[in-house]
A = this chain, B = another copy of it.
Amino acid sequence: MSRPALSRDRVLRAAVELADSGGISAVTMRRLAEELGAEAMSLYHHVANKEQVLDGIVDVIGAEINEAAARVTLPSHGDGWRKAARVRILAAREVLLRHPWAPALIESRTNASPEILLHMDALVGIMRDGGFSHDQTHHALHALGSRAVGFTQELFTPGNGPATGEPDPVMAAMAKRLPNLVGMLSEIAHDDPDSTLGWCDDQAEFEFGLDIVLDGLDRLR
């Protein structure tokens, strides 16, 4: 009957599962405890507070990223840097696609996650191997921004969100005042009526943006 003892690790793993199934807002101390067959107050013996749970979740995801990246490591010397950086970043992205709540959480945290720092360190190593100076590498990290971790926050690029087939209601109401946007969207929908809402392929778009930045950086090398 007695469930396995609580531990920081079990708490964090349960928190990730909870977020996966109910979004980040489902992660409350009370529900987390319930999931673990304990009382909310028991969690505080393994975790200082909720902030630390959220930091811990990010680190769990970071570890998943580093594991995934380790399986696709490529030689990074000279020209190889570009491909090596690209596959590492795309490996991170695949992890995030399994945890769609993670990008927003990662960005909202102000504490550094050790695992994500390891990911960044690996990326810096790749760029150094490629021949970038420390200064160029520093600029490069800023230019990549969150893309270095495999995502771009999509704002509400119109057409985003659940692919209901319905046009965004806010956009529809404003169509008259958004001639350029509406023109663009209607043409794209026309060109490719079968893709999601006829307009967005996130993976292709991510890679397009990533390649623009990587190419720009390669040119500076």
- Residues of A within 8 A of B (CB-CB), count: 66
Are A104 and B108 in contact, with the CB atoms below 8 A? yes
Tell whether A116 is near chain B: CB-to-CB under 8 Å. Answer: yes
- Give the complex CA separation of A112 and B170 in angstroms: 7
How many of these chains are in the complex? 2
Spot the interface stretch: A13-21, A35-43, A78-86, A205-213.
Answer: A205-213
Pick from B107, B183, B212: contact of A217, CB under 8 Å: B212
- Give the complex CA separation of A19 and B171 in angstroms: 27
Are B156 and A112 in contact, with the CB atoms below 8 A? yes
Of all chain B residues, which has the CB nearest A110? B161
Pick from B141, B152, B161, B168: contact of A142, CB under 8 Å: B152
Q: What are 18 of the A-B contact pairs (CB < 8 Å)?
A: A107-B107, A108-B108, A111-B156, A111-B170, A112-B158, A112-B170, A116-B156, A117-B181, A121-B179, A128-B184, A134-B184, A134-B188, A135-B191, A145-B152, A145-B154, A145-B155, A146-B152, A209-B213
